[in-house]
Chain A
Amino acid sequence: MKLHTAFTVKRVSDEVWEIPATEKPGMLVPARIYATEALLTNMDSGVFEQVTNVACLPGIRRYALCMPDGHWGYGFPIGGVAAFDPQDGVISPGGVGYDINCGMRLIRTDLTLAEVRPRLEQLMTELFRNVPAGVGSRGFVRLNRQEFDEVMRKGARWCVERGYGWQEDLERIEEHGCIPGADPQTVSDHAVQRGISQLGTLGSGNHYLEVQVVSTDRIFDPETAAVLGITGHDQIAVMVHCGSRGFGHQVASDFLAVFEKAMRRYNISVKDQQLACAPFRSPEGRQYFAAMNAAANTAFANRQVITHQIREAFQSVFNQSAEALGMHVVYDVAHNIAKVERYAEGDLVVHRKGATRAFGPGRPEVPEIYRHIGQPVICGGSMETGSYLLVGTADAMRDTFGSTMHGSGRTMSRAQAKRSVRGEQLQRDMKQHGIIVKAVSMSGLAEEAGFAYKNISEVVEAVDRAGITKKVAELRPIGNIKG
């Protein structure tokens, strides 16, 4: 097996690989990578370097982990998971990412493909109009500073109070869409100015809004799917991928600078400047956690306003209320976040960066309606392939701090993808395959071509076989909005 690393990588099982703590000076724990042999072989060298760098961070417990969709990132690899002791461990913006609480939301409907196909062009046009996307896009919600502070504190709850959503939406969002401890006093004016006009916007890059279809033959666990409101028979659903926009990006940038200085004070050295960190219990660590939670709540609010706009678009096109169309939120997951969670060894500060929480059945954090099946996990594929709905397992609680994959993971650079196809051509090709794409940026569209990503089915098979999540259903795209 030829890997893109000189480290010794030992097989633990067919889907779990370990780099011993002896492989790099300073490693405090081994690193574990979840992948099939084929996925591991194709992982870039950055994954191995970065996951072993994470294993050197103070207070890390058990393992530094990387999920099968892992690739090079800033500080942590994308797909990185690590847990730290809150007493002697650190918190690092490099373990969360610039887009704090970038995440996925899935909305189901009672509509079928036969009902939607004749009006798909109209629907995508309406969605494109309702949900601003692209460089510096601005939303319709006008906020003053006091109101934006409320958004930071209350997250999706603020939106529902303002009429942008249903009360039941809140129980179907990780942390009910409102993480306690968010403190607007800890964020800079720069961060506020970057984000205050952007509520209800998608952004660009790999963010999207997708209309999808679930066929009966792509439901792998019908009983669990039914609990989630997924019934097949060419059922239509809508998936959203976005985060905290400029506000969260600035919070991350601000605290990387704060932590660079703080590390000298706390005598912490790291292998990579992007792993700048501070003790979780330090004033700087506490401030970042409070600011990060403010950004996370803003991301929940962002996806909530987008949900409202999606419902408005469907109501307009199908001339029925969103309630009559059965447009219930299935779930909303964060895949760039740090949280304090309880495990066998006590409370831990779990960082997930391009990784999803995947709590198993019975955990009190899982909403009551889903507690017997485990937490829903939403994994987005490339815009040309499929996406997946999965559920968390008890094995994930034992092995991966209740964590799993988040998406496909890139295999090709943006520049190379743009050289390989033009956005206009890709848009035409996708239309021929039955997928209508509306994009603000044609070059941005080309960068997101399906061939630039790993095969998501292979990634999903890896986590399913490893037992850290169980696949429930595959969702295929028929319409896509890109920034």
Chain B
Amino acid sequence: MAHAYRVLDDVALADTAFEATGDSPSELFLAAGQAVIETLADPQRVQPVETRSVTRRDQDLSALLFAWLSDIVYLKDAEGLVFHDIIAVVSKERDGWLVQGTLSGEPIDPARHDLRADIKAVTKHLYDVRQEAGGWIARVVLDV
């Protein structure tokens, strides 16, 4: 099992873009989620004192990933949280896909946290999710 992401420097001049890869949909969601939480703050400086669960279903895996990443952005604003770690389990259902995720983190504290960029939105600009021989790949541009 492997997952990773890399920042795409030449895609978004004023914003942040990344390409996430994973052997499986779960690994892909984990990699892309990791990219989002690391865009917000350094996870190593955040303690896992609170957890939030995210459960989403969609017929389309691409739409499901978009919703999953948007939920992380929502929790940042609505609950004032930054994150230490995430778990994502994606499973195929009869008529679509299910993601069950858990985010651990704590309320934002500028004095202790290495805060980075305040993500406004996950965008559809050049948004792409595809399966290739080596696994799953997603390209995501974040408006920051």
B9 within 8 A of A: yes
Interface string of A400-417 (1 = CB under 8 A from B): 000000000011111110
Q: Which of chain B's residues 60-119 have a Cβ closer than 8 Å to chain A?
A: 70, 74, 76-78, 80-82, 108, 110, 114-118
Determine the chain B residues whose CB is within 8 A of the CB of A198 once the complex forms: 77
Beyond A99-B120, A198-B77, 18 additional pairs, beta carbon < 8 A: A44-B13, A74-B125, A74-B141, A134-B115, A135-B40, A138-B80, A194-B78, A197-B80, A204-B144, A205-B144, A273-B125, A414-B14, A414-B15, A414-B16, A415-B9, A415-B16, A416-B9, A441-B116
Are B121 and A273 neighbours in the complex by a CB distance under 8 Å? no
Are A71 and B121 neighbours in the complex by a CB distance under 8 Å? no
Of the stretches A232-240, A244-252, A374-382, the one at the interface is A244-252
Q: How far is the CB of A299 from chain B (nearest CB, A)?
A: 13
B10 within 8 A of A: yes
A361 within 8 A of B: no
A205-B144, A274-B124, A416-B9 are contacts. A444–B76 as well, Cβ < 8 Å? no
Q: Which of chain A's residues 204-234 have a Cβ closer than 8 Å to chain B?
A: 204-206
Determine the chain A residues whose CB is within 8 A of the CB of B115 once the complex forms: 134-135, 204, 440-441, 444
B7 within 8 A of A: yes
B interface with A by C-beta (< 8 Å): 7, 9-10, 12-16, 40-41, 70, 74, 76-78, 80-82, 108, 110, 114-118, 120-125, 127, 141, 143-144
A315 within 8 A of B: no
What is the bound-complex CA distance between A252 and B77, given in angstroms?
15
A136-B108, A410-B14 are contacts. A483–B9 as well, Cβ < 8 Å? no
What is the bound-complex CA distance between A356 and B38, given in angstroms?
33
Q: How far is the CB of A89 from chain B (nearest CB, A)?
A: 22
The 8 nearest A-B residue pairs measured at CB:
A246-B77, A204-B118, A194-B77, A193-B78, A249-B120, A135-B115, A273-B124, A135-B118
Interface-central residue, B9, B16, B81, B144, by most chain A CB under 10 Å? B144
Are B123 and A74 neighbours in the complex by a CB distance under 8 Å? yes
Determine the chain B residues whose CB is within 8 A of the CB of A392 once the complex forms: none
Count residues of A near B (Cβ-Cβ below 8 Å): 48
Determine the chain B residues whose CB is within 8 A of the CB of A252 once the complex forms: 121
Determine the chain A residues whose CB is within 8 A of the CB of B41 once the complex forms: 135
What is the bound-complex CA distance between A402 and B141, given in angstroms?
32
Q: What DSSP secondary structure best describes chain B's contact surface? A: loop
What is the bound-complex CA distance between A203 and B143, given in angstroms?
13
Are A193 and B127 neighbours in the complex by a CB distance under 8 Å? no
Determine the chain B residues whose CB is within 8 A of the CB of A206 once the complex forms: 14
Contact check: which of B78, B81, B117 meets A441 at CB < 8 Å?
B117
What is the bound-complex CA distance between A413 and B125, given in angstroms?
16
Determine the chain A residues whose CB is within 8 A of the CB of B125 once the complex forms: 74-75, 272-274
A99-B120, A443-B116 are contacts. A136–B9 as well, Cβ < 8 Å? no
Are B13 and A98 neighbours in the complex by a CB distance under 8 Å? no
Interface string of A27-66 (1 = CB under 8 A from B): 0000000000000000010100000000000000000000
Are A98 and B108 neighbours in the complex by a CB distance under 8 Å? no
A136-B81, A413-B12 are contacts. A194–B74 as well, Cβ < 8 Å? yes
30 pairs of residues in contact across A and B, judged by CB atoms under 8 Å: A44-B13, A73-B14, A74-B123, A98-B120, A99-B120, A135-B115, A135-B116, A135-B117, A136-B81, A136-B108, A137-B110, A190-B74, A194-B77, A194-B78, A195-B77, A203-B118, A246-B77, A246-B78, A249-B120, A250-B77, A253-B121, A253-B122, A273-B125, A274-B123, A274-B124, A274-B125, A414-B144, A441-B117, A443-B116, A447-B117
